[in-house]
Structures are given as C-alpha cells and as structure tokens.
C-alpha cells in the first residue's frame, strides 16, 4: 500500500501537477518492511528477543492457516470481499457498544436542551416508550430530563458537598442472558460465541461478560473460553442477545429486539428522571449528579441515616423493577472517588466513599485501578519510580511524578492519590471525531485491493458523518502493521 508524506499534496498543488508519488514515499525510521521505502536492516537474534511481545510466542492459528490457504475462503471472508465492512460491523459487538455510547451521549444532550427550554416556557417534554423502540440504533428515542442543572460547573455547593453517583450494571451481558434463564443464576456463567461443548478446549472464543460466580475462579472479561475452561472446567456458556425474537400475546405482535439496547434505554430512562446532570459512559454505565436532591433529603434526614446511600438504593430498586437486573452504585463527591466506590459496591449494592476515608481506600490500589490510567502508565511508574502502588507513590513529590509520567499525567496522578478530582460531568461535550477502524481480517495481495478497501472505508466514514449530521475538518489516517515477529495468523480466528 502506498503511504506518502503530506508534501506530495502540498508540492503537487504548488506546481499544479500531480508529482510522482514515488518521490514522496513515507519511510518510518524503524521500518523493517521490504515492500517500500528504505531497505530493511536484518534484525539480530538478541534484538528480536528483547522486543518480542508476548503474543508473538504463539504459533499461527492452524484453522486460520488452513482456511487462508484456500483462495475462495479468503475472497469471501477477508477485506477483499465486497461486503466485508458491512459484515465486520454487523458482527462486531464492540462496534455496537461504541455506537450506542455515541448515540446515548447525543440523546442525553438533546434531552438536556429540551428540558431547559421546556422549563423556561413551562412546557413538559413528551416521553416516548423508550424500551419498545425498534431496530439496532438508539436514534429516534427521546429521554426526558426532569431536573437539569443550569450554569454547569458553577454550582453553589463546595466541591466536597457535591454528590456524584456512578451507576453500572453488574456483569451486563450475563445479567441480560439470565433474564430468560433464571435456572443459571448463582452459577459460573459466561457470554461468548461458542456454546455448550462447542469450541472444545482450544476455543479462542472471547468472553464478553462473566458472572461473579465465574470470577471466583479467576475468570475475567476478555479472556478466551479456552483459558476459562482451564480455570473452571464446568463453566456454563450463554449466547449473545443482540437479536431476540419477541412475541407479545397482548398485541399479537412479533419483532426482533435487541435485549441490550432495551435494557440500556430503560436504565437511562430511570437515571434521567433523577439526574441534575448525566454523563453517558457506556451502554451499561453512567455518571449522574444528584447534589440538590440529596441535600434536600439531608435537610430532612435523621442523623443516623445516609440520605445519599438511601437515594442510591431507591434508584437501584427502580432500575431492578424496570429491567429485572442489578446495578451497583458508587457514591462520592467527585467522579474519581465515585468510580472507585463502585468497586466496593459490586455486586448488587451501593457504597458511599466519604472524603475522610478516601486516602486509606486508595492506598492499596495500583495506578491501573484508576480510570484513565493504563498499562503504559503503570509500566513507566514501575520503571522510573520503582512502584505502581498508590500508597507508595503518595510519598513522591508532584515534581517526581511529573518527571516520570509527563506533566499532565503526573499532576492528575498526584491529585488522584489524594482523592482530588475537579472534573465536571461531560454531558454536553460535543463529539469530536467520527471514525472507521478495522484491524481484523485485513489481507491484500496488491495495491489495487488496498486502494479499493480504503475507498470503502472512506464511504463508511461519510455514511457515519451523515448519520451524525456532522462535517469533518481534518482527516487522520492510521496504518497498523503486523509486528515482524508475530505469527502471520493471529491466535484469534476471523470466522464470520
């Protein structure tokens, strides 16, 4: 595939002719690929072993290798297939989850605008039956926000008097599946593609969600079924519920419904009825501000009662009635602490993390337990500061953290260790980008095939921009390539 430097466009435009692209080939400094650019420098064995990532120790998946050897299979199931992009997204649960998240954010924003203008004119916004809206998309649904906060971020309350709740379904996909399989409640269950004994001990099927009973065996979301079976040979599997055929005896009506979408809309409908502000985090998770309500309850409550926790339990009960599923709620005066409180609240509970307890709660945790800090921050901290434990990092100066992790991350971490977080809920943050990214099943044998595919991706991005009613100003192109030491066929197979 041709990858050229931007000067190709700039110089061509300046000279008024399309200059030969070969003079502008982009060559990354560490290129080891022989297909274009500077010639590859052979890697020495010592260099290879020091940079070999763990996945490279796997061999190519033998099923994938056999399938890929057949041209007709390759033509039908990889990026050269004419309908590959549609098929890829139709079958990608992560795509559905990220699309719903974007749609929920839009719906929340629209509801806020409507509520504020309706309030001003004395009108009440119309409420649709969110739960029965058809199709895969969430668009077309209308939320009603009952008590929006005006002048966001300028509330009269002191930061420590704010009340933020982090509401999250417990093992969302599993809970959704258990609704029609109550006999599996209390058992180690996972949701994945392989069912029953299918997939065998070598199954690469990924676990999307696992019950809390399965977690007791060390099973986690994202693990392969093969690994899970090693930890718990009697593990039970449940299918996804993206498409569910529903027959209503009342209306003699049958239709395809998406259980996750239905539950998510019911959950958001309950939260919207209480939230002064709401940030949609994902299909099964949201942050709400309920400062005014809790302060009102506080004024009337007995000294022995925690009105914030009582209110959280009311919300949990309402969601349970609406969905049949458990959500857990973490409560505190900022986003960071309410997210951490949810760890203790789960499963099926609520927990109020008070300011006085925050540092002791945080001390035994590690950097990657904090939202927004990943593996790389953890590795840097261990390498440069000798530890990733937050209790130990509490003894380091702000300057030491900034030197090791960079100014922004260091500052945020210094505050987080002390339970300080001044972020406000992002309910009205406009969407900044629309993208199409595919990192699976990409196999080309010629430049022409790659060019056709890039055009198809561009069409997909345009469609998404149209759906979101947005225009773009700049384009970022991301090209990923296989690590030269990784197996040609990854451990996970592209079988759809």
Q: By C-beta, is 169 or 373 nearer to ligand DCP?
A: 169
Which of 8, 143, 173, 311 forms a contact with ligand DCP (CB under 6 A)?
173
Q: What is the DSSP letter of 56?
A: G
- Least distance (Å) from ligand DCP to the CB of residue 269? 19
Per residue, the 3-state secondary structure of 304-350, as one string, reads CCCHHHHHHHHHHHHHHHHHCCCEEEEEECCHHHHHHHHHHHCCCCE
Tokens of 150: 């005006």
- Taking the C-alpha atoms of residue 180 and residue 238, their distance in angstroms, rounded to an integer, is 11
Q: By C-beta, is 174 or 362 nearer to ligand DCP?
A: 174
Q: By C-beta, is 98 or 366 nearer to ligand DCP?
A: 98
Q: Does 31 bind ligand DCP (CB under 6 A)?
A: no
Number of residues that bind ligand DCP (CB under 6 A): 15
- Least distance (Å) from ligand DCP to the CB of residue 292? 28
- Least distance (Å) from ligand DCP to the CB of residue 346? 6
**Which of 307, 318, 260, 268 shows the shortest CA–CA distance to 427?**
268
- Least distance (Å) from ligand DCP to the CB of residue 192? 9
- Least distance (Å) from ligand DCP to the CB of residue 135? 20
Binders of ligand DCP in range 195-214 (CB under 6 A): 208-209
Which of 12, 52, 221, 366 forms a contact with ligand DCP (CB under 6 A)?
221
Strand-pair partners of 191: 209, 238
- Taking the C-alpha atoms of residue 279 and residue 153, their distance in angstroms, rounded to an integer, is 13
Tokens of 374: 């990943």
Q: By C-beta, is 97 or 402 nearer to ligand DCP?
A: 97
Q: By C-beta, is 24 or 172 nearer to ligand DCP?
A: 172
User: Which conformational region is residue 132 in: left (phi greater than 0), alpha (psi within -120 to 50 degrees), or beta?
Assistant: alpha
Binders of ligand DCP in range 337-376 (CB under 6 A): 346
Q: Does 172 bind ligand DCP (CB under 6 A)?
A: yes
- Taking the C-alpha atoms of residue 135 and residue 316, their distance in angstroms, rounded to an integer, is 27
Q: By C-beta, is 173 or 414 nearer to ligand DCP?
A: 173
Q: By C-beta, is 285 or 421 nearer to ligand DCP?
A: 285
Query: Residue holding tokens 């309500």?
Result: 293
Tokens of 29: 């400094």
Strand locations in 335-395 (E): 350-352
Q: Does 222 bind ligand DCP (CB under 6 A)?
A: yes
Binders of ligand DCP in range 73-112 (CB under 6 A): 93, 97
Which of 68, 111, 171, 235 forms a contact with ligand DCP (CB under 6 A)?
171
Tokens of 326: 């458990």
Q: Does 168 bind ligand DCP (CB under 6 A)?
A: yes
Backbone angles phi, psi at 129, to 5 degrees: -80, 90
Which of the stretches 166-174, 241-249, 443-451, 456-464 binds ligand DCP when contact is defined by CB under 6 A?
166-174
Which of 213, 276, 277, 284 forms a contact with ligand DCP (CB under 6 A)?
284
How many angstroms separate the first and last alpha carbons of the chain? 25
- Taking the C-alpha atoms of residue 61 and residue 70, their distance in angstroms, rounded to an integer, is 15
Backbone angles phi, psi at 255, to 5 degrees: -160, 165
Q: What is the DSSP letter of 429?
A: P
Contact 145, 109 (CB under 8 A): no
- Least distance (Å) from ligand DCP to the CB of residue 267? 12
Q: By C-beta, is 169 or 453 nearer to ligand DCP?
A: 169
- Least distance (Å) from ligand DCP to the CB of residue 222? 4
- Least distance (Å) from ligand DCP to the CB of residue 173? 4
Q: Does 241 bind ligand DCP (CB under 6 A)?
A: no
Query: Per-residue contact track with ligand DCP, 290 to 329, x per CB under 6 A?
Result: ----------------------------------------
What's CA 476's distance to the chain center, in Å?
21
Tokens of 161: 């008097």
Does the bond joining 347 to the residue before it have cis omega, within 30 degrees of 0? yes
Residues contributing to the site for ligand DCP (CB under 6 A): 93, 97, 168-173, 208-209, 221-222, 284-285, 346
């Amino acid at each position: 595939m041709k990858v050229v430097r931007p000067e190709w466009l700039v110089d061509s435009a300046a000279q008024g002719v399309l200059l030969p692209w070969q003079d502008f080939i982009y060559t990354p400094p560490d290129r080891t690929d022989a297909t274009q650019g500077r010639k590859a420098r052979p890697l020495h064995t010592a260099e290879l072993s020091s940079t070999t990532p763990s996945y490279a120790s796997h061999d190519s998946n033998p099923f994938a290798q056999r399938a890929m050897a057949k041209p007709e299979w390759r033509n039908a199931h990889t990026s050269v297939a004419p309908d590959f992009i549609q098929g890829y997204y139709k079958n990608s649960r992560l795509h559905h989850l990220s699309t719903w998240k974007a749609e929920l954010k839009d719906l929340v924003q629209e509801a806020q605008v409507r509520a504020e203008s309706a309030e001003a004119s004395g009108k009440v916004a119309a409420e649709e039956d969110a739960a029965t809206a058809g199709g895969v998309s969430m668009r077309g649904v209308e939320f009603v926000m009952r008590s929006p906060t005006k002048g966001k971020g300028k509330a009269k309350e002191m930061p420590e008097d704010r009340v933020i709740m982090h509401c999250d379904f417990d093992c969302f996909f599993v809970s959704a599946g258990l609704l029609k399989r109550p006999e599996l409640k209390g058992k180690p269950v996972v949701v994945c593609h392989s069912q029953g004994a299918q997939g065998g001990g070598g199954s690469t099927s990924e676990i999307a969600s696992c019950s809390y009973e399965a977690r007791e065996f060390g099973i986690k979301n994202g693990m392969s079924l093969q690994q899970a079976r090693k930890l718990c040979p009697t593990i039970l599997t449940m299918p996804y519920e993206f498409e569910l055929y529903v027959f209503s005896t009342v209306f003699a009506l049958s239709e395809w419904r998406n259980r996750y979408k239905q539950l998510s809309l019911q959950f958001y409908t309950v939260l919207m009825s209480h939230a002064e502000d709401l940030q949609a985090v994902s299909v099964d998770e949201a942050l709400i501000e309920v400062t005014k309500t809790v302060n009102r309850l506080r004024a009337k409550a007995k000294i022995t009662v925690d009105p914030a926790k009582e209110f959280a339990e009311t919300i949990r009960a309402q969601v349970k009635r609406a969905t049949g599923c458990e959500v857990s709620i973490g409560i505190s005066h900022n986003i960071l602490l309410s997210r951490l409180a949810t760890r203790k609240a789960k499963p099926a509970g609520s927990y109020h993390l008070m300011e006085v307890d925050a540092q002791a709660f945080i001390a035994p945790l590690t950097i990657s337990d904090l939202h927004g800090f990943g593996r790389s921050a953890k590795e840097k901290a261990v390498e440069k500061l000798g530890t990733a434990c937050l209790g130990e990092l509490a003894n380091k100066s702000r300057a030491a953290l900034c030197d090791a992790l960079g100014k922004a991350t260091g500052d945020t971490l210094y505050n987080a260790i002390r339970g300080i977080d001044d972020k406000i809920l992002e309910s009205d943050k406009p969407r900044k980008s629309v993208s199409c990214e595919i990192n699976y099943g990409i196999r080309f044998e010629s430049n022409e095939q790659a060019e056709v595919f890039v055009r198809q991706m561009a069409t997909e991005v345009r469609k998404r921009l149209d759906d979101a009613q947005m225009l773009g100003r700049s384009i970022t192109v991301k090209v990923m390539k296989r690590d030269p030491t990784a197996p040609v066929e990854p451990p996970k197979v592209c079988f759809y």
